Structure 1
């Protein structure tokens, strides 16, 4: 497999050092995580601190009422990648029958009916309890500070509030009060505060301040007390009561939510073994098929047998797009919180057969594979009306059109060899009405579930939505060498594949690979309401070059140019196990992701 030479210029350096590195989609989260490392915390303390900061400073991209997926390896057991499960399930009353009785054909893209049980906060606390070293109060101090004292509102957050201003004013008055307190959309750079969320975090800390008969309780018990408070206290009571009232959902309908206090109490974040493949001498680790993570593994398996995998060339870009289309078709046919035949889908024999389907021209068909003993689920292929959904984020819709939420990401590596990548999302400020006592809303992850019992991702009480959240861990010789991820909904795997190919095959540096022009396909069943599909759709950055883009068009791809710097928000950290040297790199697109370290 040959590659074009990497560019000499990068937008910023690949950071290198020997102490520790942090990278995230917001500079304040990166700085907070790195501050924890500098004060003696480990990678898990740092990731949790940065994760809670992301709730505050990227409220249009994630929130406490959302979810996360993480993947990590510890210094004590470096060869075992572990998945952090922060994806809550469907509530007990979330049944297909109920949603159908509300006149719905799809789970809405916004509003309380789309809310899974929030999983992010409990997952962060579980990680801190089990693998961190810091006290909860110290870890949360960064987020509490930004929530109570304020932080400058991002330009994209201001734009998001502007897009839903009419919805807030007309239908979600609690959201208008929270995000438009003077009746106007706050301008970029406005110092915004969230004292209600600061109060929630301080309540979690105070829950652990009890005294036992035999003396003060310990660090782990304080964190356990915070987890109980989150799941059985003010948050559960307020959220369940507030969403039980009728409110506007995407599509224009008014419905009440179904989540109850008992749903909060019934969920515990935890851990699972990662799913892995070998690729070009590396082990690639992902979460299981209740996420879309194995689609990245399938795509790499397919591409592993081809000579033309350089995304910067016409042939390579075509091969990458077609491999992704095949892998994502399998995602929609077979993945879910159910029995998924991954041993077949990830086998070399299956990849060999799928690879043969890639011809010289773009396929216009949706082509899941055939797995003995399993019938492929075939959802309705809905071509988006009007302008095609371009897939630049995780869309959630208001009654008049599209607004966009997205996702965050954070990576940390420390001097001891602990390494973690986490992708938090959901609970965007535009997901559902803000719960006044809490300062945040619940998420919309149930929109990824089908109101069809035949689907492996069917809406079922207690089942996890087949989430798009999908960080990656890369190992070599039994030790972690890289953690990475990106926001982007259905594009998370698609934007990571070119970065991995360029680094693991093309010998690009991390920053060269992140900066290089990206691409993705929209010829997939969109994971988000209204579940569109664009036959042969491909979105590319203009920097891919006129010649390559024209070649893709000649091959039959329906190409959309996105501009020079639009696709992907990949961040990454890594470590050389032999020398202990660490590195980090962050995406310049959007002008807010940063890496830091020494």
Structure 2
């Protein structure tokens, strides 16, 4: 019997799992009303915007993988907005920048998450938009119990908000105080925004027309107008220590829409794994699986030093390739086929030895020497001074440092599946837009201000996001959705979860509960873009013997606090219709529900 901290949820009607128990309960309530997995996931997203505002917001971004019942393969929903028309390298250089700050107005790309959910709801939802938005409106207007980490994040930024971002001070610190843990917190301006969206949407007749009206109100109507008006005059402090104006306009928002696209995939041990494209870090998991399939990983103790060593070293190689080669394939010729090939993986696998590597080692692919040289140069550069909003979503300089973004997995009775990782628009990323109750995102910090790279800042280009939901299944039929928050760690934690599940931990909860680890060896995606060669963070539940073994192999081991690494959730549905769901006990927020 496999040990679990809580039961694996079993059922046949539907399952919903996420990084907050209220969102999961709301998702299940939508399924009970007859909604699809797409309805439920969207409602969960809007609730997460309210109850985890330090981790996601309505002006953020999102990739999702979806499996529509009856279709042969999953699809990617791209809710990753692009760089605005005014976001040129020269403009940022003229602002005195060598790196794009981790917060403030120049860190913003076109908001994409709202339109992505509307696209899914239009094509695959059943319920009226009011049913989707009303739970979020309720918690924004009438209050929700504040998480201790939300309270700590706001308290840590209170002085900065008062002095530099007054709209955020008014929103997050009503009465001049951070909300106490478990007190009821309200965001009436956000509730008003959603109410107005509904009013304008319901002026149209029919489900699809109402969704299109909501999209228009957001990207071309009063939401875009409020952002455009504010951005014309706003000049705010950012993580680089300067007060700067932004470049996002209403025209940028009006000219962008969410899209569907085909996923990338590989086969591994009888399973297929589907991920988003090269504009995400998602293919690092596929590359790592390619490297590990010839390593004997299936026979290793999944909680042993050999397993940790091999997985870590494979990830170092895949993430080194991420830094050299990944980017928006709509703008750059990415060598995707080579990176995901078995022949290339065999070359990379041969580079893994008995000792931990301390070097950045992107692979050599003909015709891409400049990209490799620049990746190595960036990795050895001095780290910039950090400021407010710097680093991973909740790694702000002055705030509580636990947590990251959010994740949602849903399966309904018809076999529709959603795996979504909404993020961006955190309360520490940018000031609240006056009248809207929501801040802008900071995803542009993942661009480089160097010409000629796949991740160079270019108007209309997608930043290489860390957001990375997953779908997998046997015999090329989707049967499992899973994912996690965690920035650069997302595909690391998902990789070890998937390997453990495929190679023996069939219970989803057991695979999630197993000890986790990750490395910060490679170039970080978030400002100030640091590297930490040889770093390996492990949970203490691996045991002293395993930890000592890893140190003996040259890993620079950092032992985490107990039960503090990773926020995985997962759900599955087999051919008989039996569904399973699980959520991490770590940080005491995530829950899976179902029946």
TM-score by length of 1: 0.95
Corresponding residue for 2:209?
A: 221
Residue in structure 1 matching 2:353, options 356, 359, 369: 359
Residue in structure 2 matching 1:49, options 43, 50, 61: 43
How does 1:156-167 map onto structure 2 within 5 Å? 156-167=149-160
Contact 1:383 1:534 in 2 (8 A): no
Note the residue ranges of structure 1 that are not aligned, 5 or more in a row.
Answer: 1-6, 212-216
Please identify, of 367-376 and 64-73, the stretch whose mean Cα deviation from structure 2 is larger.
367-376
Residue in structure 2 matching 1:114, options 107, 110, 113: 107
Tell whether 2:187 aligns with 1:207.
Answer: no
Q: Deviations over 1:191-231 (max 9, x none)?
A: 111111111112221222336xxxxx211011001101101
Distance 2:539 2:391 in 1: 12
Q: Deviations over 1:55-93 (max 9, x none)?
A: 11110000001011100111120x311001100001100
Contact 2:149 2:402 in 1 (8 A): no
Corresponding residue for 1:593?
A: 590
Distance 2:2 2:402 in 1: 34
How does 1:50-65 map onto structure 2 within 5 Å? 50-65=44-59
Distance 2:447 2:494 in 1: 24
Corresponding residue for 2:416?
A: 418
Distance 1:404 1:172 in 2: 23
Corresponding residue for 2:563?
A: 565
Corresponding residue for 2:466?
A: 468
CA drift at 1:478: 3.4
Give the root-mean-square deviation of aligned CA atoms. 1.7
Corresponding residue for 2:221?
A: 233
Contact 2:55 2:394 in 1 (8 A): no
Contact 2:153 2:400 in 1 (8 A): no
Residue in structure 1 matching 2:288, options 278, 293, 299: 299
**For the structure 1 residues 360 and 450, does the alpha-carbon distance in structure 2 shift closer, same or farther, using more than 3 Å as the test?**
same
Distance 1:545 1:405 in 2: 24
**For the structure 1 residues 368 and 90, does the alpha-carbon distance in structure 2 shift closer, same or farther, using more than 3 Å as the test?**
same
Secondary structure, counterpart of 1:230 in structure 2: helix
CA drift at 1:241: 2.3
Note the residue ranges of structure 2 that are not aligned, 5 or more in a row.
Answer: none
Secondary structure, counterpart of 2:478 in structure 1: strand
Distance 1:531 1:208 in 2: 41
Contact 2:2 2:507 in 1 (8 A): no
Corresponding residue for 1:314?
A: 305
CA drift at 1:581: 0.5
Contact 1:151 1:191 in 2 (8 A): yes
Corresponding residue for 2:146?
A: 153
Q: Deviations over 1:471-516 (max 9, x none)?
A: 0000222321100000000000001111001101123410001000
Q: Deviations over 1:352-404 (max 9, x none)?
A: 000000000010100000112323343312465899xxx99535645x68967
In the comparison of the two structures, how many residue pairs are matched?
581
Contact 2:152 2:400 in 1 (8 A): no
Tell whether 2:165 aligns with 1:172.
Answer: yes
Secondary structure, counterpart of 2:421 in structure 1: strand
Secondary structure, counterpart of 1:500 in structure 2: helix
Contact 2:61 2:79 in 1 (8 A): yes
How does 1:463-502 map onto structure 2 within 5 Å? 463-502=461-500
Contact 2:155 2:399 in 1 (8 A): no
